[in-house]
Copies of this chain bind each other. A is one copy, B any other.
Amino acid sequence: MKIITAEQFALEKDNTRQQSEHDIDQAVLEIIKEVRKNGDDALRRYTEKFDGVNIDKLIVTEEEFSEAGELVTSEFSSALQQAKQNISEFHQAQKEQSWFLNKSGGIMLGQKVTALEKVGVYIPGGKAAYPSSVLMNVIPAKLAGVEKIAIATPPQSNGKINPNVLVAAKEAGADIVYKLGGAQAIAALAYGTESVGKVAKIVGPGNAFVARAKKWVFGDVAIDMIAGPSEICIVADETAPPAYIAADLLSQAEHDESASSICITTNRDLAEDIKAEIDKQTAGLERKDIIKKSLELNGRIIIAKNLMAAFDIVNKLAPEHLQLMIQSPTENIQFIKHAGAIFLGNYSPEPLGDYFAGPNHTLPTNGTAAFSSPLGVYDFVKKSSIISYSEAALQNASESIINLANTEGLTAHANSIQVRRGESNA
């Protein structure tokens, strides 16, 4: 783990975001074309090719759900239910109401909030399994009032879906689970096939193929975001225990080699202590090979001259996860402009948010927290404006509307007002 200054870090960050995605795009576009053309046949062909398994029925059956229920431990079920309760409680607070306002003269304006009808949730699978992602993506959609929530997740080599994922899907309220992964799953959800219903929006994490496929279908359907590698940034002062900081950086680094684990501190002694703790703890961790590579590539401890300088770096990074392990974290929220989630104090480590506390773990990565939000109930609704004018109110406004329409050269727009004054120019 390198310890560097803020100035050195600024130099390193230049131009790291440019990557060629040309090869992936070629493959992804071919897959999308094939799925649109050949439907389920193409899906089965790609599932055999990429997941190594021949799937006849693409939809998980009730029997498979029951079987999964038998296979999970009671400890897991209990933890899942507690997490579900916390996630539901937080997202409940995000729900928006339709509203209207009456103005004098017979004018009513409003905003109607309506749930999306059908949503697709992508959940990575194969060797790994992420029941937490199921909860985090399905629960807000359910609370928003989405009528049909479909999960797509790649099958294991035995043709089954991981039981923990299936139990989470049932618990969260998903309506259907497809045994589908990769770009072919995204294409199927976006355009529909014989077995897969077309959805209005696709959400959920995935590898580079899934991410690029989402970018390509965007516009035909809505998508949540193009997720990149996961990031943590910890701002720490001398009140933070180095063992905790090290453990949190390591938890991020275990995701994959491109995950980014950064600590910014005002205290050089603390930096040295963190470094020592990292070496000590890494040795005992299962995923130490990934962790070491990840830290070497994207792990940094940055020395900032004071807290304000640290926050300045944070706002430039716009990190996905930000931990404030400092004397008065809550008082300092005001200085944070860009971060997906902000964790306060020494007992709010990122895994608390990943699994349990309630706020969504689907967060903007790769600097996009500068313009994007965590996944939320607001991602599963959309708004319609409402305009109602009385005859008198329209007459009052008519001169201005006619002037503005004619100014833009749109005389038929003016005519629409003029006919209502009994003076069509047509």
Please give the residue numbers on chain A whose beta carbons come within 8 Å of chain B beta carbons, in ascending order: 17, 75-76, 78-80, 82-83, 89-90, 93-94, 99, 101, 103, 107-109, 111-112, 114, 116-117, 128-132, 164, 200-201, 215, 218-222, 226, 243-244, 247-248, 250-251, 253-255, 280-287, 291, 329-330, 333, 336-360, 363-364, 368-374, 376, 378, 382-391, 393-394, 397, 399-401, 403-405, 407-420, 424-426
Contact = CB atoms under 8 A, between A and B. Distances in A.
Contacts of A222: 368, 371-372
| Copies of the polypeptide in the assembly | 2
A99 B364 CA distance: 20
Enumerate the 10 nearest inter-chain pairs by beta-carbon distance, A residue then B residue, closest first.
A359-B385, A284-B426, A79-B400, A281-B426, A344-B388, A254-B412, A373-B383, A222-B371, A341-B385, A351-B413
A249 to B, nearest CB: 9
Contacts of A286: 411-412
A304 to B, nearest CB: 20
Interface residue SS majority, chain A: mixed
Contact of A426 (B283, B404, B414): B283
Contacts of A388: 329-330, 343-345, 348
Given A79-B404, A347-B391, A388-B329, A415 B341 contact: no
Contacts of A90: 101, 109
B79 A416 contact: no
A356 B291 contact: no
6 contacts: A76-B403, A76-B404, A79-B400, A281-B424, A370-B382, A371-B382
